[in-house]
Amino acid sequence: MHQFQKNFRIDIVHLDESSMEFDMVGIDASIANAFRRILLAEVPTMAVEKVFIYNNTSIVQDEVLAHRLGLIPIKADPRLFEFKNAGQESAEDDGSEIDTIQLQLKIKCSRNPNASKESSDPRELYRNHMVYSRDLKWIPLGNQADVFADFSIRPVHDDILIAQLRPGQELDIVMHCVKGIGRDHAKFSPVATASYRLLPEITLLEVVEGEKAELLKHCFSRGVIDLEDVRGKKVAKVVNSRLDTCSREVLRHVDLKNLVKLGRVRDHFIFTVESTGILPPDVLVTEAIQVLMSKCQMFLNEMTCTDME
Amino acid sequence: MAGEMEKKPKLEMVQADGADEGCVTFVMHDEDHTLGNSLRYMIMKNPDVEFCGYTITHPSESKINFRIQTRGGVPAVESLRKGLNDLHDVGQHVLNTFQARVGEFKQREDQPME
């Protein structure tokens, strides 16, 4: 354990609002994979779950529309909400303010009376003919108006096209969002993707110089191998193996393939986390680690309860 | 020792050998490779454990069979408990390190702007 704490380190390469790249060194593959799996499937978010369609005269079928609405990312901090109790399944179970967000979509397409006679551009002819995610309105329940006074709950992106309408068609929909995890349905996944790769390791078994060095440099991605001047001859040196995309081009060349050994550093993981925008990526990783810890804690509690019986 | 009598037991124990506490199969519900593989790794680090493995009996059912065999008469429950604690500590250390590094990175970001 102390050995682990001594060898373990994290380096953050890049961090902004929507994605981050960081290195984890000194950890085993099983735990790195556990973090990746949790980021994809077990960090909870809020998404539209129940769609009450009061009127839908558009060309998009009810179920297709409901499916599309479910996939829209909703910018609401899931940590402020609770999971909905799986017990009650009553028909109009209007969720309480602690576990449900209510959104409404009410839009009607009409003809534009000011359009010119010959135009065929839908943007001129019709009003509200494209339904975007910015048309979703938040209806605060209970004390949500006070709790979320600083920022209103809305979709992460304003310009997601939900449906297209023509004059006379309208949508009148009420939606309930609940908290869920990606394991239940992919719409609850908080990451666009989360992946890791191992740091490539390139070892030159012999000294490579001259024209062979040039050829070697071109076999790898740019920046991996540099040529330095040693006593007038160009010698190849591995500068930054991180940039390599591991295409193994060098093994195609008969004269070069025995001079290089390609491998991976077994405990150096380069994580890339892209968030959908609901939570910043560093918060997501923190949440994922906490989910793993809470799983362990839950089993420990189970064991102590069973022992005491 | 059996699972709890609540709505759904999360952790059950199936003891195949008569009185030998060292060989136990645990059935964990609603779990998969995420916890299974990482827990197996932590438990294998324990020198008292002779055998540790897990299987997912059927992919449609979300439960794992986790088997621990110890040597020297150590009860398997203790190894499981130690493994869970170790995994928890690893998580805690990773969390602390990560948060410290994020804090540093953000400070470094702010500094050039000042």
pLDDT value of position A88: 56
- Number of Cβ within 10 Å of residue A17's Cβ equals 10
Instruction: With H, G, I as helix, E, B as strand and everything else as coil, classify residue A168.
Output: coil
C-alpha B58: how far from chain center: 20
Quote the CA–CA distance of A262 and A50 in Å, as a whole number: 52
| Sign, Cα dihedral of B59, B62, A274, A32 | negative
Mean per-residue pLDDT over chain A, rounded: 88
pLDDT value of position A206: 86
State the smallest CA–CA distance between residue B102 and chain A in angstroms. 7
The count of residues in chain B is 114
Global confidence as pTM: 0.87
Quote the CA–CA distance of A59 and A62 in Å, as a whole number: 9
pLDDT value of position B5: 32
Q: In 3-state terms, chain A is what percent helix, strand and coil (to 5)?
A: 30, 35, 35
pLDDT value of position A54: 96
Question: How many C-alpha atoms does A73 have within 13 Å on its Cβ side?
Answer: 19
Is 90 exceeded by the pLDDT of residue A2?
no
Is 70 exceeded by the pLDDT of residue A93?
no
- State the residue for tokens 């290195």: A23
pLDDT value of position B1: 33
Is 60 exceeded by the pLDDT of residue A260?
yes
Q: Which of B26, B30, B32, B35 to mutate to test the interface with A (most CBs of A within 10 A)?
A: B35
What single string gives the DSSP state of each residue in A46-74?
EEEEEEEEEEE-SSS-HHHHHHHHHTS-E
DSSP class of residue A128?
A: S
| pLDDT tens digits for range B45-90 | 989 899 999 999 899 988 899 888 888 878 888 888 999 999 999 9
Is 70 exceeded by the pLDDT of residue B2?
no
pLDDT > 70: percent of chain A = 96
Query: Across the interface, do A15 and B99 touch by the CB < 8 Å criterion?
Result: no
Residue B19's pLDDT band, with cuts at 50, 70 and 90, is low
State the smallest CA–CA distance between residue B35 and chain A in angstroms. 7
| Sign, Cα dihedral of A103, A106, A109, A110 | negative
Residue A308's pLDDT band, with cuts at 50, 70 and 90, is low
Alpha helices, DSSP H only, in chain A?
Answer: 2-7, 29-41, 62-70, 122-125, 144-147, 211-219, 281-308
- Closest by CA position to A300, among listed B26, B33, B21, B95: B26
Mean pLDDT of A80-90: 73
State the smallest CA–CA distance between residue B20 and chain A in angstroms. 17
Is 80 exceeded by the pLDDT of residue A74?
yes
pLDDT value of position B7: 42
Residue B3's pLDDT band, with cuts at 50, 70 and 90, is very low
Mean pLDDT of B84-107: 92
**B90 contacts in A (CB within 8 Å)?**
1, 4, 31
pLDDT value of position B103: 92
- Output the CA–CA distances (angstroms, integers) from residue A42 to A69, A288, A301, B38, in the order listed: 21, 8, 20, 16
pLDDT value of position A158: 92
Is 70 exceeded by the pLDDT of residue A86?
no
Is 80 exceeded by the pLDDT of residue B20?
no
Residue B18's pLDDT band, with cuts at 50, 70 and 90, is low
Quote the CA–CA distance of B22 and A139 in Å, as a whole number: 58
The contacts of residue A127 (CB under 8 Å, 6+ apart) are A109, A110, A111, A112
Burial class (CB in 10 A: 0-12, 13-18, 19+), B23: middle
pLDDT > 70: percent of chain B = 84
Query: Across the interface, do B38 and A31 touch by the CB < 8 Å criterion?
Result: yes
Instruction: Give the tokens for residue A1.
Output: 């354990």
Query: Across the interface, do A42 and B97 touch by the CB < 8 Å criterion?
Result: no
The contacts of residue A253 (CB under 8 Å, 6+ apart) are A215, A219
**A306 contacts in B (CB within 8 Å)?**
1, 3-4, 11, 13
pLDDT value of position A245: 86
